[in-house]
Amino acid sequence: MEYLWTFLESLTSFKRPCYISDEIDARHQATEIHLPVTGYRIIVTVVVASVGMTKSALSYGQEPMEATTVECGFGVGIVTG
């Protein structure tokens, strides 16, 4: 790696980053208490479950085109939202 960094520094003005690899005491990392269940997580869980149940009901009901439409609509909503 030293040869690569030397080459990069001579070819460009890119300098080698300096990293600190000291371990952090785990007791100091968990200073804040995070709620395991939030409103956002509840909303996401309900939406994903309802879309999944709708898709599976359509699939089992011999409606594959409608099931694919639900899946595509949900995917577009997730990607754009």
**What tens digit of pLDDT does each residue of 48-68 get?**
888 888 888 888 888 888 888
Residue 75: both structure tokens together: 């995917």
User: Is the model's pTM score more than 0.85?
Assistant: no
C-alpha to C-alpha distance for 17 and 5, rounded to whole angstroms: 10
Nearest by Cα to 58 from 42, 47, 72, 69: 69
What residues make up the domain containing 78?
36-81
**Within-domain flag for 1:** no
Residue predicted with more confidence, 14 or 67: 67
**Within-domain flag for 69:** yes
The pLDDT, as a whole number, for residue 51 is: 82
**Within-domain flag for 59:** yes
- Looking at the structure of the chain, the number of domains it has is 1
**Within-domain flag for 3:** no
